Amino acid sequence: MGADAIQTNGHDQAKLTGGEEIQRLRCFVKNYEWGKLGPESLVARLQEANTGQRVDSEIPYAEFWMGTHESGPSHVEFGSGHGVSDKCMVTLKSWVLDNPNLLGSKVVDKWGCDLPFLFKVLSVTKALSIQAHPNKALAEKLHREDPLLYRDNNHKPEIALAVTPFQALCGFVTLKELKEVITNVPEITELVGSKAADQIFNVHEHDEDERIKSVVRLIFTQLMSASNNETKQVVSRMKNRLLLETKHRELSEKEKLVLELEKQYTGDIGVISAFFFNYVKLNPGDALYLDANEPHAYISGDCVECMAASDNVVRAGLTPKHGDVQTLCSMLTYKLGYPEILKGFPLTPYVTRYLPPFDEFEVDHCDLPRGKSTVFPAVPGPSVYLVIEGKGQLRTGSSKVLVNRGDVLFVPADIEIHVTGESDVMKLYRAGVSSRFFQTL
């Protein structure tokens, strides 16, 4: 991008430069209190490399956002100089709005002049809230009724791809496990009452799905609706009981987790409700996908996350933020059983694809050794590339871009990308519109 392209007006700049093939993005960071501190955070290291901002060792760096969402917009940087006067910044959203051809006609026809996905990196050291994301109909209703809390009207299916060992709570455990929970965690019965708790023993695996779900919904809603004072007392008693039992037996992994959560969120209803959820441990390269209305809480680790372009979250438990217990408990599917873990499938010797059952997005992971090359074929929609580690180059038919850790690049529709590694290993992730979407048109 030459200096002759620089204009004083951002929109003029974007229109003049709309034909460029690859553009670097400057990205937005969220400093939520659950993020890892300072340089321990992958997000912090990416931000420093991406923007040049120095890392503060006392600040949590939680989320690195790549996309057009108004809550954390990325910017396109034009200009090749090193001084502020040599460069011009416009939001990615305004740039694609002025240049819809960058998105491809099929994407514009379906989602308008906007990126349909939001790409993130998360660095988690303290549990996130127990939460779920609404489907499209509920998102529209929540946004209409409380636009300050629910900022947009879109659904938010998502995928979390582990970069480091990653832990999460996700979905309800099986009926058999729930019966064991009610039996072995008497504090739940203290909070919901024996009349509600005992109903779990009146349903069986062969019963109708809706009958089982209605009982789980009843018990979980009663639990989450317990008063704050009673919850604090009961959680404290549970903690003391478990600490006493450590003298006589080895606690289960879930019990150890619950004690850790109690340290983070003392007296919180989310501590005891964790017994209801699957404790999921992902190895690097494993991915967890979450449809609308499925409960989850990330616990620790670093992940790449991709989702439909939304920031809608319904929370209840393990959070100082606003909780909406009634909405959360009424929206959940109450589907029981362990979630599906995606391992991805190979596209080339160096590229693995993760393809959840959603139109808006897919994620590719590329590990490229020094001197090796691979090709990302042209697709009819936009892509965002992120380099997490190492260095290399991206080439198109008419340009070459050198990339290092922290570089984020927007690639328009119908552009083939050749990637070559120039370090021991270059780790790169690509987010794009689901290839299934284009195949079904």
**219-230 residue pLDDT tens:** 999 999 999 999
Distances (CA, A) of 18 to 9, 24, 102, 103, 363: 14, 13, 8, 11, 25
To the nearest 10°, the Cα dihedral for 224, 228, 229, 233? Answer: 50
Tell me, letter by letter, the H, E, C secondary structure of 15-55: HHCCCCCCEEEECEEECCCCEEEHHHCHHHHHHHHHHCCCC
Q: Does the pTM of the predicted model rise above 0.85?
A: yes
List active site positions. Answer: 315
How long is the chain? 441
pLDDT, residue 87, reads 66
Task: Enumerate helices (H) and strands (E) in the chain, giving the number of each.
Answer: 14, 26
Residue 5 has a CB neighbour count (10 Å cut-off) of: 14
Q: What is the DSSP letter of 266?
A: T
Give the pLDDT confidence score for residue 215 in this predicted structure.
Answer: 98
- The string of pLDDT tens digits covering residues 113-155 is 999 999 999 999 999 999 999 999 999 999 999 988 888 888 9
Burial class (CB in 10 A: 0-12, 13-18, 19+), 64: buried
pLDDT tens digits, one per residue of 288-345? 999 999 999 999 999 999 999 998 899 999 988 878 999 999 999 999 999 999 999 9
Model pLDDT, residue 88: 82
Question: Concatenated DSSP letters for 332-401?
Answer: ----BSPPPEE--EESSSSEEEE--S-SS-EEEEEEEEBT-EEEE---SS-EEEEEEESEEEEE-SS-EE
CA distance 226 to 223: 6
Average pLDDT over residues 176-192: 98
Residue 12 pLDDT exceeds 80:
no
Round the average pLDDT of the chain to a whole number and report it.
92
DSSP one-letter code for 203: -
17 has pLDDT over 80: no
User: What pLDDT, on a 0 to 100 scale, did the predictor assign at position 323?
Assistant: 87
